[in-house]
Amino acid sequence: MAKPVASDPLPEAVAAEIRGDKVAVAPKGKSARVAVVAPPPVDGDTSEEDDAEDAEAGVDDAEILEDWPDDTEEIELINSRLSTISNLGLPRFAEHLRKLCLRQNYIAVLDPDIMTTLTHLEELDVYDNKLKNVDEAISALSNLSVLDLSFNLIRRVPDTLSRLSSLRTVFFVQNKIAHITGLDKVGATLRSLELGGNRLRKIENLDALVHLEELWLGKNKITKLENLGSLKRLKILSIQSNRLTKLEGLESLENLEEIYLSHNGIVRVEGLEHNLKLRTLDIGNNFVHELENVSHLSMLEELWINDNKISSLHKLEPQLKNIATLETIYLEGNPCQKTEGANYRRKIMLALPQIKQLDATYVKQG
């Protein structure tokens, strides 16, 4: 299994292929009630591309959705060079609109007069715009279950998040948020919280999130694992690329299945006595000198402990051989790889006959 990048942002496969012409087309295989703005095919003729750009420049925002029926349920205006939503005529879709995607535009303000009419909206995606404040804009969206505000200029969690009584997933990736606040009223519904790539220095104010299952905090400046005691249903914790030096504060997370701790300053594997459901442990790119304190993790499937300071393989067998579920181990980049030389792979395979993948290569046992 390939290792994920620390605090992976959202997939961009669709957005990467959409280049920015304001032409509304009905996508093949989709209902006519789904409006997607996408460009015409590009065949490499630069003159035609220039013509398309010139044509695009003349398209008024009000024309983009004018041919779409009032009962459209999903609207996607991706990379459409929008700077405002005020002229799109969105209120006429209000009764039926469930998903609004405005990714990769230049929107600095979500007009509250428009947004407060979209009360049936269940998913709002404004990834990669220029938003600084959305408090009023989202205040009436009580049916919203997914909110993506990633890659904007937001400095704090919106106060009106408390009114989103159906919210299950929220993304704040790559903003300017310095403190975790404003989540007290969404604890009954919130399942996934993504705050990667912000300015956080402390884990705080999560006590109300008793149903949270995923917490993503990668690429911040957090120095300590703390204040996680109320997250008893947490299954995934990602805190890669921070400033941690000790593995601690996890004793209440008995349902934890995946933990990502790479690119920190951790010196010892410890504090996992109560995390018996762990399937994935990523502690790569730290300062760990010895493999220890994992033999009790009987459900472990993947162990990433690459690029540390482990100089010997002698702890490998006593710590891991009896974990029958273990399939993948990353050890490359440790001093032991250089010390063992050509014997590196053979010794690991003999010590751990159950594994199917060593580093990036599948293992052929027997």
Q: Report whether 198 contacts 172 (CB < 8 A).
A: yes
Query: What confidence tens digit (pLDDT) does each residue in 322-354 have?
Result: 999 999 999 999 999 999 999 999 999 999 999
- What's residue 54's pLDDT? 45
Torsion of CA 262, 266, 271, 273, to 10 degrees: 50
Which percentage of the chain shows pLDDT scores above 90? 82
Mean pLDDT of 256-273: 98
Give the whole-angstrom CA distance, residue 255 versus residue 226.
Answer: 17
Report helix, strand or coil for 118: coil
- What's residue 35's pLDDT? 55
30 pLDDT more than 60: no
| Residue 27: other Cβ atoms inside 10 A | 12
| pTM given for the model | 0.86
The tokens for 229 are 């005691």
Q: Which residues, 6+ apart, have CB-to-CB distance to 346 below 8 Å? A: none
Q: Report whether 276 contacts 256 (CB < 8 A).
A: no
- What's residue 364's pLDDT? 74
> CA 355, 238, 126: angle at the middle one, nearest 5?
125
Mean pLDDT of 213-240: 98
Residue 112: pLDDT band with limits 50, 70, 90: very high
- What's residue 37's pLDDT? 59
46 or 265, which is more confident?
265
35 or 310, which is more confident?
310
- What's residue 33's pLDDT? 54
Query: What confidence tens digit (pLDDT) does each residue in 173-189 have?
Result: 999 999 999 999 999 99
27 pLDDT more than 70: no
Q: What is the DSSP letter of 121?
A: -
Q: Report whether 142 contacts 163 (CB < 8 A).
A: yes
Q: Report whether 329 contacts 281 (CB < 8 A).
A: no
292 or 48, which is more confident?
292
Report how far Cα 221 is from the mean position of its chain's Cα atoms: 17
Which of 39-48, 120-129, 135-144 is predicted with the least confidence, judged by mean pLDDT? Answer: 39-48
60 pLDDT more than 60: yes
What is the per-residue DSSP string for 144-170? --EEE--SS---S--GGGGG-TT--EE
Report residue 295: phi and psi, to 5°: -60, -20
Residue 14: pLDDT band with limits 50, 70, 90: very low
CA distances from 146 to 15, 65, 161, 163, 187 (A): 18, 23, 12, 14, 14
